[in-house]
Structure 1
Amino acid sequence: MKFTRKNIFNTLFVILLLVIVFIPDAKAFLLKGLMEIGFYSPKVEEQNKETVNLTGIKFSNLKGDVIDLGDLKGKVVFLNFWATWCPPCRAEMPSINKLYTQFKNDPNVVFIFADADGDLLKSNKYMADREFELPVYKVESAVPKQIFEDSLPTTIIFDKEGRISFKHEGIANYANKKFTEFLNKLKAAR
């Protein structure tokens, strides 16, 4: 085989594709770059507000604290299902962390990052290694299909009445002005 420019280019292209396919951080890096140039912006217009009985849907953290979604009525809830091995989840985490830092001291907004694998030691280490402040939980009860159907990542926003105001399956950039305004609008609603 001759080493021509075309052969070298094709070989490098195949190697790049293999790296992106088999190394989650490489794929996450590519997706994050696409997010930063404007792809994957969540649509935050009013959605049909679906009512779901949230009582009994529970999550626990590493300390053993348990949150029941039914007890969070009167608060806006940002719920994200993710996993450490999921490249789209890894790609959207910096944007979610940025959003979280804007609202972390707001008592009217609650963030729950549900590790789909339920391995709190691994997921907390992942967050610490990347210096993310996101509160990680594992699912402790059955979750209705209206909320989560196994697609990672999935993000759901509940309004203060416990209704689904936003649901997005797949990667999204949550660190944008429109999404911050959307959360503030939900928070201000009576």
Structure 2
Amino acid sequence: MQIKVYCSEESNVMKKMLTGRNIGNMLFVLLLLVLLFVPSAKAAVLRGLMQMGFFSPDVESNVQEKVPTAIDLSAIHFKDAAGNGIVLGDLKGKVVFLNFWATWCPPCLAEMPSINKMYNKFKDDQAFVFIFVDADSDLLKSARFMEKRNYHLPLYRAASAIPEMIFSGSLPTTVVFDKQGRISYHESGAANYNDNRFIDFMTKLKNMK
């Protein structure tokens, strides 16, 4: 008899736990855990918000008020997987799009499709240079990541110290230099870089002397 009472009480407890409200709470907690510990899931949510019009790049703000522009670009070097180097100071006369990212970073994964679309619009224009810096310097891993997703973004690793005013460690970080080597855009965090306003912004920088 004691066993039956115990089983009955246990059944009642289970029924109370499985009410609609509790199931909803458990599903909510499960969703939070997935977003916290599954980078691709968090990236998918951010990407969906981008498609809804969120995370548009703020190209109208005065960047010079936020980021000093007196930087020795000749001291900033990057290298690709083949060991070929590129120096920011040698890119005067070009519009430079510089992006710091990592394969494990959900906001980086979220913005990458928009970056790839924007890159494809400008990649054949000699006025632009694109540098995608793997923060982990694991170019083989990042190349596999790109290949799997059919991206063809030029990958580099940092081959010198990077001034904190350009990259402070936050991922992703995107910096755009004008043809005079001045910082024209600086953003830490994901953004939709295929946004029409950003495309227009890049075109205006190209047309500036």
Matched, 1:47 2:68: no
Identity of aligned residues (%): 57
Q: What does 1:1-190 correspond to in 2, within 5 Å? A: 1-2=14-15, 3-45=18-60, 46-48=62-64, 50-190=69-209
Moved over 4 A (4+): none
Q: Contact conserved, 1:52 with 1:164, CA < 8 A, in 2?
A: no
| Whole-Å separation in 1 of the counterparts to 2:201 and 2:71 | 21
Shift of 1:6: 1.2
TM-score (norm 1): 0.97
| Aligned-partner SS, 1:111 | strand
CA contact (8 A) 1:151 1:169 kept: yes
In 2, the alpha carbon distance for the partners of 1:65 and 1:188 equals 29
Query: Structure 1: where are the runs of 5+ without partners?
Result: none
Contact 2:133 2:157 in 1 (8 A): yes
SS in 2 for 1:18: helix
TM-superposition CA deviations, 1:142-173 (whole Å, max 9, x none): 11111110011000000001010100011111
User: What is the CA–CA distance in structure 1 between the aligned matches of 2:69 and 2:53, rounded to whole Å?
Assistant: 29
- CA RMSD in angstroms, aligned pairs only: 1.0
SS of match in other structure, 1:55: helix
Q: Report the alpha carbon displacement of residue 56 of structure 1 after superposing the two structures with TM.
A: 2.2
TM-score, length basis structure 2: 0.88
Shift of 1:51: 2.8
- Structure number with the higher helix fraction is 2
- 8 Å Cα contact 1:40-1:171 kept in structure 2: yes
Aligned pair count reads 190
